[in-house]
Structure 1
Amino acid sequence: MATRLVQINMKARDDSALGRFWAEVLGWGIDSEGPGVTNLEPVGFAYPDPAAVCIDIIARPEPKTVKNRVHLDLATTSAAHQADLVARLQVLGATPADVGQGDVPWTVMADPEGNEFCVLEPRPLYQDTGLIAAVVVDCTDPRAMARFWGEAMDWTLHEVTDDHAVMRSAKGVGPYLEFLRTPDPKTVWNRVHLDVRPYRGDDLAAEEARLRALGATDPGIDQSDIPWTVLADPEGNEFCLLGPG
């Protein structure tokens, strides 16, 4: 058994407005499974498919107070493309952001709700990912995160060092999942988190037990009204285990 990353979950004060922003940025379609939920995926996409990691935006009243520990990196193909994309993002409502990055070749920005993301300079690694190059998770120990997530999912580990770890779907398509060493401790519930899903026919309870045996923990929240399971990885990052499909 194994899971795979199928989407990221973002909290927002206005899910519809933030959904419109990201749909315009990515050229994706917008749907909704109910009030306070905006679902984004490529037009004509057959969910779930490793060619894309979708985005669910969920309305929540709590304000953003700290830098997100999960963010998106956007790919570009040339210096001109990077400059044009940054300019277009600003027209759509994104703003420059300073997270202490200093003088770097990528551009750090924030979406209209303050969620940080990066517009990368051209990198050969991301030539075939589409606009979303990577989903990036801050952590204190990339090697330990690679061990957990390498067992939790059937994605392939491409690189691991003391400073970062890089994974991608075993089918070699879609964005990468990266773990980046950072000194900042986790202090609040993550406003952006990973959603993983077992394969059709797998047993959800058995998969939850397997993840717990690997080091996943209970985040200590009331889960009585939700059909999925919320767990936390070994560094306390919440993630959702969805039903098989």
Structure 2
Amino acid sequence: MTPRRFGICIDANDPELVARFWAAVLGREAETQGEEIRLLPRADDDFRIRFVPTDTPKTLENPHHLHLTSSLPEDQQRTVDRLLGLGATHLDVGQRPDEDHVVLGDPEGNELCVIPAGNSWLAGTGFLGEVAADGSRETGTFWSAALGWPLVWDQDGETAITTPSGSAKVAWGGPPPVPRGAHDRFRFDLIASDDTGPVGEIRRLVDLGATLVAETYEGGRWATMRDPDAYEFTLVEPR
């Protein structure tokens, strides 16, 4: 099966502000498409990232967040200082004093972690090393099959997959699930391959365990769906 591309969609009260922050953090260019702002990938395996407007304020921790890596011991503090200068803030999400990662929030409070150098789990990944996601083993294996990406961890309910090049991971923490509101601000996109049309791709994902919420066929999006843990994701046309 042709591997699919993975994307992230984040609701923002000020999409331009949040997109500008992440473009500077990741060294990407931003592009406006209708009401949404996209960060252009620099490599084929880069996670596609887009920001869409919402009037709803953020009130809960996101079920998913990003991990940024460090190559040298001094890189972690340099990254923290750079992100604070760009508009990030320190967050307390219950991390223990002995934990060595630094938790920050972007300008609208979307959580992220800056990981220290020497982290064996993210060895070999890029600067954007991981999406740390809430979800069960069933959801992790679903996404492995849905994207055609290898499952590189499957133990005690926790799972992880990696991009075909090994540049980044998506990992699911297993039970218990985190508290959720009526709508998740941080969601996933699955970008379809060029050799599958919308009907066939929707059917394939349903057969793998997804639920179809609505077919849309507008703005480059084919359908809204839910994974086995009922996390909403968007099926996006090839790009």
- Determine helix, strand or coil for the equivalent of 2:8: strand
Deviations along 1:127-177, whole A, 9 cap, x unmatched?
4322100012112x2x2122211221210111111252111123x232111
Is it true that 1:176 corresponds to 2:172 in the alignment? no
The 1:22/1:244 distance shift into structure 2, 3 A limit, reads closer
Measure, in 1, the Cα distance between the counterparts of 2:208 and 2:157.
22
- What does residue 105 of structure 2 align with? 110
1:60 to 41, 54, 59: 54
- What does residue 191 of structure 1 align with? 185
Q: Pairwise mapping of residues 22-61 of structure 1 onto structure 2 (< 5 A)?
A: 22-34=22-34, 36-42=35-41, 45=42, 49-50=44-45, 52-61=46-55
1:211 to 205, 211, 214: 205
- What does residue 136 of structure 1 align with? 132
Question: How many percent identity over aligned positions?
Answer: 32
Is it true that 1:152 corresponds to 2:151 in the alignment? no
Deviations along 1:54-109, whole A, 9 cap, x unmatched?
21011111111111011111011133110111111111111111111222110111
- Determine helix, strand or coil for the equivalent of 1:126: coil
Is it true that 1:89 corresponds to 2:83 in the alignment? yes
2:60, 2:180 within 8 Å by CA — same for their partners in 1?
no
Is it true that 1:79 corresponds to 2:78 in the alignment? no
Q: 1:37 Cα shift?
A: 1.4
Q: 1:5 Cα shift?
A: 3.4
- Determine helix, strand or coil for the equivalent of 1:181: coil
Deviations along 1:164-212, whole A, 9 cap, x unmatched?
2111123x23211111135324333111111112211212211111211
TM-score (norm 2): 0.90
TM-score (norm 1): 0.88
- Note the residue ranges of structure 2 that are not aligned, 5 or more in a row: none
- Determine helix, strand or coil for the equivalent of 1:208: helix
Q: RMSD value over aligned CA atoms?
A: 2.0
- Determine helix, strand or coil for the equivalent of 2:93: coil
Measure, in 2, the Cα distance between the counterparts of 1:182 and 1:107.
23
- What does residue 161 of structure 2 align with? 167
Q: How many residues align?
A: 235
> Could you tell me which amino acid in structure 1 is paired with residue 40 of structure 2?
E
Q: 1:41 Cα shift?
A: 2.4
Measure, in 2, the Cα distance between the counterparts of 1:145 and 1:125.
20
- Determine helix, strand or coil for the equivalent of 1:10: strand
Identify which range, 97-106 or 225-234, moves more after superposition. Answer: 225-234
